[in-house]
Structure 1
Amino acid sequence: MNETPESERTAPQDAPFSHAAGPNGKPEIGRDRVSAWWLRLDDIGAGDWPLLETLLSDGELTRAQRFHFDRDRDVYIAAHALCRALLTRCAGGPPRDWRFTVEDHGKPEVVAPAGTPRLRVNISHTRGLAAVALTAENDIGIDVEWLQREAATEQLAERVFAPRERQVLADAAEAQKIETFLTFWTLKEAYVKAIGKGLSQPLDAFHFDLKTLAIAFDDPEVDDPATWQFARWRPGPDHLMALAVRHPDRARLEISAGPVPLDYLRALAGS
């Protein structure tokens, strides 16, 4: 699996587009490829917001205006603009033309053009950061979290973590408790979002090994750990990001992740 090593997981300032160009000059997308982009709100200039809004559908623009707080509205706009931009980059077509259905537990699914692979996309956002992950055919989930949040980590862990995870958290140095908690949390959320079961999936019924990023289930009949691959990054000093993708062969899976080039978003909005 081609991914950012853990030792290099702090994001670079500039990153190339995900996926090498195929024979037609477009980035290739398939079941063995995952593309993940993130966008830091601090990087967005005042003049960029009207451009990002042009990438959204009318329904998304309406929903954006319903947010009470500016920060919530802004990160919603950034996340949905990012999603549409990545779909257009990898599959073509105008950003506003992409349509989505909503599954039983609220997971959005792309309505892919006829004759194309089933595109699978997932969005996440938190204070100051938006992210999106895209692949074909396979289940995928992404989660981002803000490290500066205040949380009663061990009390929350008692309710939602498996015993092994609670022990790792209890053993962590005080200064590392928030990051350890959120590392588990982002991995769990990414998996739950990938399977599309929402809150109906108990978070303490499976656990992670942070050294290997392997998942294990209390009930072996629930899911097969060998079919899941995970990755995680630090998109900046204040955020963590985790990815889950159902894929049976780690060696074949190529994951490309990095910050979206803002110039691409600006050019797309002006096209």
Structure 2
Amino acid sequence: MRDALAGSGSVVVHARPAGWLPADPDDPRLRPLLGRDYPRYRKMSHPQVRGRFVASRLLLKYAACSVIHAAPHSVELAYKPGGRPYLRGLDQIDISLSHTDDLLLVGLTRRGWIGVDAELSDRRMARTGIERQVCTPAERRMLDAVPEADRNAALIRLWTLKEAYSKAIGQGMRFPFTEFGFGPGDRPVTVLCPDGAPGTGEEWSFATHTVSGDYTISIARYDAGFGDTGDTAAGTMLDEGLMQALMEIADTER
């Protein structure tokens, strides 16, 4: 992960929840690892929801800490008003999280913002009426021209791109999906206005992939234009006082 981040500025990792489930859901070591998420975790009663929650947070923390050279219990995961996660005090690294069914997805970048989203590739979306709820007029016209056999995959691609972009800008589902769109997959991907006119420039890049043959994932990245943050170690990214305070909090919670 460090090599990938150093080379391209961004990295995306995926995993199965089962690989990140603690053997003992009441393991006391989870308290310092989850931090402020721990009370929320303890209140969850549905086993599958609870398991996916703890697995996704552990993957996110370990992935992030592997590139900032820090112990997972020493870094605090916090949330912005829209629910977007971030590493408190470590704004040189931007993170994004997605999970669906049996897949966890984490994105990290040192160049600006990142958003990731995953969806089952065989989820039925086409011809369900969802097009009018999430697609712009230009996108609906584009979908009408897609062969029926490929229409569902095209709609899932649009859905994951919209989710990823919304996460990257910190809006999530609060930003109406009918207010922005994307073009066909055989062209360079950019955000489009509802009428199909260009909406963003070269500062944004997008990609869509298939993972494990079952999932469609999309990635949205914004390059802030400030160049690379080559040093991602927490000890040099944080000022000394804040780093010491976080370590003391972690030691107290253990």
- TM-score w.r.t. length of structure 1: 0.70
Q: 1:222 to 1:103 in 2, by over 3 A?
A: farther
Q: Does 1:208 align with 2:182?
A: yes
Q: Does 1:90 align with 2:67?
A: yes
Asked if the contact 1:153–1:181 (Cα under 8 Å) also holds between the matched residues in 2, the reply is no
Please give the alpha-carbon distance, in whole angstroms, between the structure 2 residues aligned to 1:111 and 1:248.
Answer: 19
Between Structure 1 and Structure 2, which shows a larger proportion of helix residues?
Answer: 2
1:117-169, Cα deviation, whole Å (9 max, x unpaired)? 62211111111111111112512111111234344545101111012222333
Of the three residues 6, 20, 23, the one matched with 1:50 is 23
| Paired AA for residue 181 in structure 1 | L
| Paired AA for residue 194 in structure 1 | A
Q: 1:1-271 counterparts in 2 under 5 A?
A: 18-20=1-3, 28=6, 33-41=9-17, 44=19, 49-50=22-23, 54=29, 56-112=33-89, 118-151=92-125, 153-209=127-183, 210-211=185-186, 212-218=188-194, 224-247=200-223
Following superposition, the deviation at residue 222 of structure 1 comes to 10
Aligned residues: 220
Asked if the contact 2:84–2:167 (Cα under 8 Å) also holds between the matched residues in 1, the reply is yes
Q: 1:221 to 1:91 in 2, by over 3 A?
A: farther
Asked if the contact 2:191–2:198 (Cα under 8 Å) also holds between the matched residues in 1, the reply is no
Please give the alpha-carbon distance, in whole angstroms, between the structure 1 residues aligned to 2:47 and 2:151.
Answer: 30
Please give the alpha-carbon distance, in whole angstroms, between the structure 2 residues aligned to 1:219 and 1:174.
Answer: 23
The alignment yields a C-alpha RMSD, in angstroms, of 3.1
Following superposition, the deviation at residue 202 of structure 1 comes to 1.9
Following superposition, the deviation at residue 61 of structure 1 comes to 3.8
Between Structure 1 and Structure 2, which shows a larger proportion of strand residues?
Answer: 1
Following superposition, the deviation at residue 89 of structure 1 comes to 0.8
User: Any unmatched runs of 5+ in structure 2?
Assistant: 229-254
Q: Percent identity?
A: 24
What's the secondary structure of 2:22's corresponding residue?
Answer: helix
